Amino acid sequence: MVPCVIFEDEHLLVVNKPPGWNTHAPSPHAGEGIYDWFRHREPRWAPLAILHRLDKETSGVLVFGKTPVANRSLTHQFTDHSIRKRYLLLTDRPVSRESWTLSTKLARAGSRYASVPKGREGESAETRFTVVSRSKERTQICAEPLTGRTHQIRVHAAESGIPVLGDTLYGGSPFARVCLHAESITVMHPAEHRRHTFSAPADFEVEGRWALRAACIDPAETNAYRLIHGAADGWPGWQVDRLGDYLLSQSEAGLEPQHAAELERLLRQLDLRGAYHKQLSRQVRRTAPGDACPGLVQGEPAPDRFTILENGLHYELSFTEGYSVGLFLDQRDNRKRLLSGHVAAGFPALISNREPQSLEILNAFSYTCAFSVCAAKGGARVTSLDLSRKYLDWGRRNFDLNGLASEAHDFIYGEAFDWMKRLHKKGRLFDTVILDPPTFSQSKQSGVFRAEKDYGELVRAAVSLLRTEGVLLTSSNAAQWDCSAFLGGVREAVDAAGRRVIREHYQPQPPDFPITRLAPAHLKTAWWVVG
């Protein structure tokens, strides 16, 4: 169960959207909205339809249709205004009335909306306001929109002299979030033909980043995720990951006092054992492994090896093995796709019409074999290829942690280009090939590899090992590489290999790695069906 799901049946999916998450992606390569994230997560959610929206910073109840019957019914109900919606807002301005209704016409005015004078063109909007509670500093108000216009409540609140707390676009006082919450929605069920009210309580005090993580991460299934993603979460240049019972802090500088104080708070709040800090370096390969390891800064030390939980699977991590701890958290959702066999809405299942036991997958830069574990748990036979024996051994331990017989799978020590050529000569073919190379690497056989320069050659080698209509997973965390250039380069390489792209799905980094103007995307991933 996804934590933010309020209700689900054959026809409806109802969720409690956290603040800071778009209803849908604002552009093709932006972070997923909550609609996109659900739609591509499970086959049963692939038919989801957007029937109403909430602003990015507004939290609360959001209803999606799952069937044509539901879509027709809800569309009709929204059109004839028979659906009842109740919002709660906070304001810090004095409120002299107990209830009132505002009816105007709204039109866009730059980045905002505003009521227009009588006689001017605009969309009719009507909102009923009722005071719910008062305190010395704030008043909580119920807002019932009798129409459904963009920014309607925010505009009418501001024009009533009570701008929403945190809504600086419409004159509200600065606050950690926009204090507007869709508390409930009442609809006629499309199949049962009786009215249902779905509700979620407002909590304006919880931090937006906590609400976002709590909405999409089930702690019973996953205890490793990003807690603070730099500027996107209000901490420029600083990242913090939860790794089971420990925190890993990362920045290019040493730990600042305000960072240390926040780590201490997080340790208490999450009841964790210790916090480590890693100073990020642009000269990783010139740094001795011991010097590159994260250092303990608070709490008790972790054992040399400890395990975390992700999507119900266990992985071994370590703070003593150099720069990397053993798992890249931003690939969590892609690993789940290998585990479940479902890539995205409209994308063929990985196992297609074949038995999963006959599915063969090549993980070309396997590192500690996390992708391989998911593919094997999903029933495939996996070949894991890596330039490090140490990491392959680590991968075998990950297989063992999850009850997988590592001897039933292949672990190949060697350089990726060299071994892909060997496998091609032997006539080996795979149903799926995974390419998640480091941005920069160096080997004796192939020399220097730089993702932006050499990725095309890597793709050409990989597609020579793909069965017809096989699936290619391509990924890169080269932050400066433009997404369109990355995708275009993969397409060109597939064409150059004499193959063709039948279908593609671009997958941005998961919601706990939010993408904003201040924190652009670093991870680019695409799934391809290659003919």
Span 438-459, pLDDT tens digits = 876 666 666 677 778 889 999 9
Instruction: Tell whether the torsion through CA atoms of 298, 299, 304 and 309 is positive or negative.
Output: negative
Does the domain made of 221-309 have the CATH classification 3.40.50.1970?
Answer: no
Q: What percent of the chain has pLDDT over 90?
A: 86
More confident residue, 459 or 282: 459
Q: What pLDDT, in 10s, does the model give residues 290-340? A: 678 999 999 999 999 999 999 999 999 999 998 899 999 999 999 999 999
Task: Using DSSP bridges, classify how beta strands 381-386 and 123-134 pair: parallel, antiparallel or unpaired.
Answer: unpaired
Which pLDDT score is estimated for 322?
85
More confident residue, 352 or 122: 122
Least confident of 286-295, 341-350, 373-382, 439-448: 439-448
pLDDT of residue 287: 62
Per residue in 446-505, pLDDT tens? 667 777 888 999 999 999 999 999 999 999 998 888 899 999 999 999 999 999 999 999
pLDDT for 286: 56
Extents of the domains making up the chain? 5-199, 221-309, 328-530
Is the pLDDT at 289 greater than 80? The verdict is no
Would you call 245 a catalytic residue per the annotation?
no
Contact indicator for 235, 245 with CB cutoff of 8 Å:
no
Q: Output the pLDDT for position 1.
A: 80
φ, ψ of residue 198 in degrees (nearest 5): -110, 135
pLDDT at 63 over 90: yes
Is the pLDDT at 38 greater than 90? The verdict is yes
221-309 and 328-530 in the same fold: no
pLDDT > 70 fraction of the chain, expressed in percent and rounded: 95
Indicate the average pLDDT of the chain. Answer: 94
Task: Give the confidence band of 61 by pLDDT, cuts at 50, 70, 90.
Answer: very high
pLDDT of residue 155 exceeding 90, the answer is yes
Cβ atoms < 10 Å from Cβ of 9: 15
Q: Does the domain at residues 5-199 carry the CATH identifier 3.40.50.670?
A: no
Count Cα neighbours of 506 within 13 Å in the Cβ-side half-sphere: 19
Please pick, among 36, 55, 436, 512, the residue that the annotation labels catalytic.
55
Q: What is the mean pLDDT of residues 107-113?
A: 92
Q: Which residues of 315-348 are buried (b: 16+ CB within 10 A; e: fewer)?
A: bbbbbebbebbbbbbbbbbbbbbbbbbbbbbebb
Residue 399 has pLDDT above 80, yes or no: yes
Q: What is the CATH number of domain 328-530?
A: 3.40.50.150
Nearest alpha carbon to residue 446 among 454, 435, 434, 438 = 454
Per residue in 419-428, pLDDT (tens digit) is 999 999 999 9
Q: Give, in order, the Cα–Cα distances in Å from 302 to each of 242, 243, 299, 388, 391.
A: 13, 11, 9, 24, 20
Q: How far does Cα 477 stand from its chain's mean position?
A: 15
